[in-house]
């Protein structure tokens, strides 16, 4: 590693870090290009530029050139530092096992010794590799739980497994509490458990594959459902569109047919009215003539006028009675057509209800009227009375798939299962 004095010499006195793009000013001092440029930019107004280290002034502003030799020295120093750091053990960080032999800031342990009950870094573990006396010590990967590998009763290494009690023990435990039990070394038990683990893993893999297969099957089922649903929606939309168009067309045709019958009947009635008006005009004219004849006192004049204008047969002749009776009965048509239309519409509504179920705004009624108790507060006292919920209500809210609230005339806040309700069709 580079000494502190060398690092100080190669550091910028402005930013106090290793120089980046070092440049040397006329007085011989060196700085980072960005650092000295920033300092001199602040002195542009004065027109006099100084060295931040020795305060020597320069006029005009010196042209800065990169110090190639100094740049190369700093680059080599950086490479040397990186190589040195690579050989140096890492310091222990959060979650790492610390070396028990390090003083001050501890390095990361790489091995733990079950004989010494100590953890070692890369430097302090070397005697265990180099000194023959340590060759029989049992090394494991660094662990912070060394105490779990030691028998809490005898402070000896746990290295035996008791199959009867299914627990790890030390050799002293074997001679005392577990004498006569079926025991094997921890290594032998590990080998057996490893076989069991492989079998369990194989079984688990089969289950995993089965579940992954089931996931794919469910995903495919969902995709199929979505495709079928979309197809059903499009087909239903087409049917309803066609049905609406058909109904609009038929409504227009029926309306026009009724209007045509109406026009024909009205025309016939107007003909009769014209005939009646003509007869009334003739009768009024005759009545006027009679009015003129009545005052004549001279018998000859009266008779001559009477004979010339009237005959008993013409006056007493009864005019045929004119009546109007429509030849086409609209009420009879509606009586025969309306029930059929209502029945078909009701059946169509029932078919749609099987798909949609109850929705907000549906008119419903209870299959069986219910009697409920209500409490009326009167000051400090209360009165309980019963009402029978019946009649037609309106679904106001859906709660889950099976429950809903209904506004009944006598009980606006009814809450219950949809199975207790039946749909009331607007068309009876």
Identify which of 121, 145, 124, 142 has the alpha carbon closest to the alpha carbon of residue 134: 124
DSSP codes joined into one string, 250-295: HHHHHHHHHHHHHHHHHHHHHHHHHHHHHHHHHHHHHHHHHHHHTT
Better-scored residue on pLDDT, 285 or 427: 285
> Is residue 30 scored above 90 in pLDDT?
yes
Whether residue 101 is predicted with pLDDT greater than 80 in this model: the reply is: yes
Phi and psi at residue 13, in whole multiples of 5°? -75, -5
Q: In whole angstroms, what is the distance from residue 72 CA to residue 10 CA?
A: 11
Q: What is the pLDDT of residues 176-185, one digit of tens each?
A: 889 889 999 9
Q: What is the mean pLDDT of residues 355-363?
A: 83
- Average pLDDT of the segment spanning 324-334: 68
Is pLDDT of 380 > 80?
no
- pLDDT value at position 375? 78
Most confident of 192-201, 281-290, 323-332, 348-357: 192-201
For 94-120, what is the mean pLDDT? 87
**pLDDT of 215 strictly over 90:** yes
Token pair listed for 138: 């049992």
Q: What is the pLDDT of residues 33-90, one digit of tens each?
A: 999 999 999 888 888 999 999 999 998 899 988 898 888 888 887 776 555 554 455 7
The pLDDT value recorded for residue 210 is 95
29 close to 54: Cβ distance less than 8 angstroms: yes
Residue with tokens 């010499």: 9
Band (pLDDT 50/70/90 cuts) for residue 213 is very high
Question: Please, which pLDDT band fits residue 315 given cuts at 50, 70 and 90?
Answer: low
pLDDT above 50: residue 400? yes
Q: What is the pLDDT of residue 202?
A: 94
Distance separating the N- and C-terminal Cα atoms of the chain: 100
| pLDDT surpassing 90 at residue 424 | no
pLDDT of residue 86: 47
Residue 96 DSSP label: P
Q: pLDDT value at position 311? A: 66
Has residue 1 got a pLDDT over 50? no
What pLDDT is stored for residue 135 in this prediction?
83
- Give me the residue label for tokens 């290793």: 18
Please check the confidence at residue 118 and state whether its pLDDT lies above 50. Answer: yes
DSSP 3-state of 364: strand
Residue 236 host element (H or E): helix 186-293
What region, left, alpha or beta, does residue 400 occupy, with left being phi > 0 and alpha being psi -120 to 50 degrees?
A: left
CA–CA distance, 350 with 343 (Å, rounded to integer): 11
Report whether pLDDT(370) > 60.
yes
Task: Specify the DSSP element, H or E, that contains 5.
Answer: helix 4-9
Q: Which residue stretches of 294-402 are H helix?
A: 299-309, 312-316, 330-356
Average pLDDT over residues 410-414: 86
Is it true that the peptide bond before 349 is cis, omega within 30 degrees of 0?
no
Using CA atoms, how far apart are residues 290 and 305, in angstroms rounded to an integer?
10
* Reported pTM: 0.41
The confidence score (pLDDT) of residue 428 equals 53
Strands (E), 148-263: 160-162, 167-169, 183-185
pLDDT, tens digit, 9 for 90 and up, residues 126-167: 888 888 888 888 888 888 887 788 888 888 888 899 999 999
Per-residue pLDDT, 18: 84
The larger pLDDT score, comparing residue 316 to residue 340, is at 340
Q: What is the pLDDT of residue 157?
A: 82
Bigger pLDDT: 51 vs 378: 51
Decide if pLDDT at 6 tops 50.
yes
Q: What is the pLDDT of residue 302?
A: 84
Q: How far, CA to CA in Å, does 201 sit from each of 18, 54, 195?
A: 56, 74, 10
Which pLDDT band holds residue 387 (cuts at 50, 70, 90)? confident
Is residue 79 within 8 A of residue 60, CB to CB? The reply is: no
Q: Is the pLDDT of residue 227 over 90?
A: yes
- pLDDT of residue 367 exceeding 80, the answer is yes
The Cα–Cα gap between 69 and 66 comes to: 9
Label residues 175-196 b or e (16+ Cβ within 10 Å = b). eeebeeeebeebeebeeeeeee
Considering just the CA atoms, what is the radius of gyration of the chain in Å?
57
pLDDT-above-90 percentage for the chain = 23
């Amino acid at each position: 590693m580079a000494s502190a004095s060398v690092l100080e010499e190669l550091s910028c006195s402005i930013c106090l870090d290793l120089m980046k793009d070092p440049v040397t000013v006329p007085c011989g001092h060196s700085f980072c290009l960005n650092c000295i440029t920033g300092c001199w930019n602040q002195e542009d107004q004065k027109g006099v530029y100084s060295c931040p280290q020795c305060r020597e002034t320069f006029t005009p502003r010196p042209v800065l050139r990169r110090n190639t030799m100094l740049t190369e020295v700093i680059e080599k120093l950086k490479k040397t530092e990186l190589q040195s750091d690579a050989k140096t053990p890492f310091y222990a960080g959060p979650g790492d096992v610390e070396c028990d032999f390090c003083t001050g800031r501890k390095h990361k342990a790489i091995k733990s010794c079950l004989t010494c009950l100590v953890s070692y870094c890369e430097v302090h573990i070397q005697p265990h590799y180099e000194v023959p006396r340590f060759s029989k010590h049992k090394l494991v990967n660094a662990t912070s739980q060394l105490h779990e590998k030691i028998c809490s009763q005898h402070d000896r290494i746990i290295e035996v497994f008791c199959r009867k009690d299914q627990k790890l023990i030390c050799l002293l435990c074997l001679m005392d509490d577990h004498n006569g039990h079926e025991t094997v070394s921890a290594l032998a038990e590990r080998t057996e458990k490893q076989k069991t683990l492989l079998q369990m893993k194989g079984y688990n893999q089969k289950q995993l594959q089965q579940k992954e297969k089931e996931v794919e099957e469910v995903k495919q089922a969902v995709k199929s459902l979505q495709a079928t649903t979309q197809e059903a929606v499009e087909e239903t939309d087409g049917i309803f569109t066609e049905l609406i168009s058909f109904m609009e067309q038929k409504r227009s045709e029926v309306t026009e047919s009724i209007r045509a019958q109406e026009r024909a009947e009205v025309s016939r009635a107007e003909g009769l009215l014209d005939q009646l008006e003509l007869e009334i005009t003739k009768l009024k004219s005759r009545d006027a003539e009679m009015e003129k004849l009545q005052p004549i006192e001279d018998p000859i004049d009266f008779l001559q006028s009477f004979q010339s204008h009237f005959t008993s047969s013409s006056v007493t002749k009864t005019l045929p009675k004119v009546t109007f009776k429509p030849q086409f009965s609209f009420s009879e048509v509606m009586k025969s057509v309306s029930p059929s239309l209502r029945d078909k519409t009701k059946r169509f509504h029932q078919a749609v209800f099987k798909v949609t179920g109850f929705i907000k705004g549906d008119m419903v009624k209870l299959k069986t009227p219910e009697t409920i108790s209500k409490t009326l507060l009167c000051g400090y006292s209360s009165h309980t009375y019963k009402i029978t919920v019946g009649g037609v209500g309106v679904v106001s809210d859906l709660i889950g798939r099976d429950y809903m609230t209904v506004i009944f005339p006598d009980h606006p806040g009814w809450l219950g299962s949809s199975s207790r309700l039946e749909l009331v069709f607007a068309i009876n």
